[in-house]
Chain A
Amino acid sequence: MADRTPSPEKAAGGKPHIKWGDAYSKGRTAVESLSTILRYFPPRLSSSETPAMDLLQDPDIATQISALLRRPDSGAVNDNLCAWLYDTFHSSEPQLQLVVLRFLPIIAGVYLTRAALNKPLPGFESVLLAIYAHETAARNGQAVTVSIPDLSHASIYHESKMPTKNASTELHLAVITASLEPHGTVRSTRRAKIVGVALELYYSKISQFPVGSKLDFCDFCKIWSGQNSHDNHEKSTEARRGRINLAWELLQPIMRILGHCLFRPEKSDELFQAAFVACRCLNSRAQHDTNAKAMLATGSLVKLAEMAKNPASNVDYTEIAMSNEISV
């Protein structure tokens, strides 16, 4: 919404823009400070009336930020870009926070593969902790739970609308994410949890990110799995590099994000293929780890994707019966 910010010129023309001015000026500040970090800065952004929206969508910006984040020395203590991401997230401007989250796949991707090598990465950690702290505050530290329906309880979708009498069975309460405690630093045993919670936040906003961000994510899933997408399974050292320990705290949001990439309402063949490859790699990894839950979840995504690829499954039931007799 911040993007409906009127330009200063219009504002000078009489219409006050106090309500949106804050979002606009925060957006401008973010644009200006980013322009000092990037080598090439598209001029159209400097004069943009919707700076936050453009930062989120601009492909040139994305390419440059991605390249910087992937540099071998990125994420260090003096990384300007990490500082920018940190400050931008702290602007508390939802639209600007989306810009930071848009790059979470690369931040988490590069961070987790390097952290396994015991490299100090305070730049990345500051951004991840900022996101984690934001989510901890938003949830008030509480666990996220789901109560699993039990069909012996009447529900809105039951055919008979009479409340059943034997509703004595308890609903299963499933804890999706355990309660969150504040963290000032990334302790190594909490790393998966902190990144996992950041990915959960990413998932909750996922419909707002450009496809490029999700493609980055699918790529890193493949790298994290340490598996090859091909069936020949000749594991190259290339595939092994970047393999990480996949705790459930990470796997769970990863699989939800991949589910979205495969079956979201807006179709993109490129994203579908990338997510399909990622799911197959993670399924192969789950088999290696003989991790039953992960095998079930990734296995079902792979099977569903294969079904979706089969044209026979895409019958249009809303088409009328075609007949040679056209009658009343």
Chain B
Amino acid sequence: MTSLTPLSFPARLVALVTHPVTAIAALALVVAAGQILDQGFWVTLATRAAILALAALSLGFVLGQGGLVSFGHAAPFGIGAYVVLIAGEAGIRDVLLLMPLAFLGGALFALPTGALALRTRGVYFIMITLAFAQMGYFVFSALSAYGGDDGMSIAGRTTLFGARLFRSDEALAWLAIGVLAAASAFLHRAIGARFGHVLRAARDNEARTAALGFSVFRTRLAAYMIAAGIAGLAGALMAEQTGFVSPSLMNWHRSGELIVMVVLGGSRRLSGALLGAIVVVLVEEFLGEATEYWKFGLGLLILAVVATRVVDLPRLLGRRA
């Protein structure tokens, strides 16, 4: 719905606040402030938010644009992390190799699983994506060479042409924010391109899109693989940040939390996933400090959001999608 009348001031304010650039700039600002004021915790928190925002952003792309409710997004995320671990054991630590490999790892997992899951619709799709993600979880739990259930530490922080450029947490934070910005820009372009239009058309009316001569299956599979690749990047960054990789990165609760982030922020816009991720990370951090049962609070929040049908926060504030 585009309107020709100029937007009112509050609507323009909301548009500004919910713009993806604003969210990314806010994260960058927190990192910069943390760097100047020597607040390591701010930097760590902003990095974590940027990484989860990256994962949520990719899920928001398939979920919002493609209408595909994937409940297995933790799998490519975890695979990205394992790519860092396994490549590190093999002596590969250069960021220019690790990131493409992590993307490839996620996307290659999505190729067969997505091709199978996309043969089905609705409830089946949700259950199958969840099942394949759980398969990934159990496979990595069984890999005793890479720590099995317990996981193991990565060989060391990533490098650039052998230089230990990302040794400090601040440098890693900038890397995460840079990848987030690049992925946002890429997905923004993809949404505006013909590919994005076909994806949305298939979401709204599959039969008509197919009748127009577009291959709905191929478009969806491509979107699914791109999203998984970006989730792989997020997982690789998570491995770099914590320095530790274990199957719990792929726990299905993480898939659920990513969906929560996307829906909380509004799935129709890319920025929704960013905002949702930042909100959930903050809730986790501050509720988690108050009580070990913070998930109880998150669960109540989710139920309250669903119960009041206030799924789209920016829409509540007066901005139309």
A and B together in one complex: no
B interface, CB within 8 angstroms of A:
none
